[in-house]
Amino acid sequence: MSDILPFLKSMISTSGLSGYEAPIAELIAKEWTPLADEVTRSRLGSVHGFKRGSGAAKPRPSVLIATHMDAIGLMVSRIDGEFLHITSLGGIDPRVLPGTPVTVHASQSRTNLPGVIAMPPAHLLPEDKNSGVISIPYLLVDTGLTARELAKHVHVGDLISFATPPVELGEGLLSGHSIDNRASVAALTLCLQALKNSAHVWDVWAVATTQEEVGGLGAETSTFALRPTIAIAVDVTFASGPGASGYETFALGKGLTLGIGPTIHPFLYQRMKEVAQRIEIPAQDEPMPAYSGTDGDALQLTAEGIPTMVLSIPERYMHTPVEVVAMKDIQRAGRLLAEFIASLEEDFMSKMKWD
């Protein structure tokens, strides 16, 4: 497989907050165009890459692979002189926000303003808010502009994205923001690359979905429009790290996880597990006893119901500006997806049962 790191870095460096994914969607569509038979966009902005299968059945069965491309971020809630008050767009861990570099996407001037997230001194905060973690309503963004200049550029509702650059760490790890879930988009891109030189009977829909961080809306609408035979959600899961180990997390760089729970069809889980064992890709079972917390929940419950599988890549420091992932796990996910698709026989659905 090719080196996917440059493309992943370019995705991390491209804006695309939930509901405002146009910049990242354009980048992904350009990357997928030579790998797919056609690339289109949904009405909610999700990217659809279609790869035609070789099966004789009419209509051919199809597998949809959903990897959300949207990212968490911030929004301007109020302008107070030369400072911006903020609110979250998606779930954000506020503990690591103070001091984080950001980009303010100024709508009035159509420019990107550099800024930093600042924390007021403790004695200026309400008495019950001046210790421990400072919540987002009490944090500010400082762009360095005067109040008059700031008002020329920024409106309430303007977006703010993290500006932490991607950093290569030791042992093949990568740190950066928005790795949730652009790591999975990178894995799906590797899958499409592999399928260029691999026969597959089924049609394939590669989908980079919108608005997962605010409710899985892109996955729901794309699945309804495309009506795949089966679906796979690829996302990140919690990797072991400081204060997070044991049964709650999975080792970073030691393989993938396969979801088990009401969202996951047991027949798809078993096939994915068999393929992983055959090609010697380590994969642990991940209990998902209620919802999966991924696009898989929307995939499964669309229309009359779509048999769904959830595949995950371990990641440290989820929903922070410094998420960490192992590049070899991304490579593993791409290869496993391609091998799974190649394993789908024309009569696969006749074998499927829920037990």
For residues 197 and 202, give the distance between their C-alpha atoms in angstroms, rounded to a whole number: 15
Per-residue pLDDT of 313-343, as tens digits, reads: 999 999 999 999 999 999 999 999 999 999 9
pLDDT attached to residue 139: 94
Domains present along the chain, CATH in parentheses: 5-71+177-351 (3.40.630.10), 73-162 (2.40.30.40)
**DSSP H or E stretch at residue 187:** helix 179-195
d(CA 188, CA 32): 10
**The pLDDT of residue 98:** 93
What gap in Å lies between CA 96 and CA 319, rounded to an integer? 10
Is the whole model's pTM more than 0.75, yes or no? yes
pLDDT at 246: 73
Residue 228's contacts (CB-CB under 8 Å, 6 or more residues apart) are 62, 63, 64, 205, 306
Neighbour tally for 297: CB within 10 Å: 21
Residue 291 to residue 275: CA distance in whole angstroms = 25
Instruction: Determine the pLDDT at residue 91.
Output: 93
Q: What is the mean pLDDT of the chain?
A: 95
Q: How confident is the model at residue 192 (pLDDT cuts 50, 70, 90)?
A: very high
Pair of tokens at residue 250: 């999975």
Q: How distant, in Å, are the alpha carbons of 4, 41, 42, 95, 189 from that of 49? A: 18, 9, 11, 37, 10
| Residue 281 pLDDT grade (very low, low, confident, very high; cuts 50, 70, 90) | very high
Task: Catalogue the active-site residues.
Answer: 212
Bridge partners (DSSP) listed for residue 89: 73
CA distances from 299 to 139, 207, 232, 234, 352 (A): 36, 12, 8, 11, 18
> What pLDDT is stored for residue 1 in this prediction?
52
Is residue 2's pLDDT more than 70?
no
Pairwise CA distance, residues 217 & 342, whole Å: 29
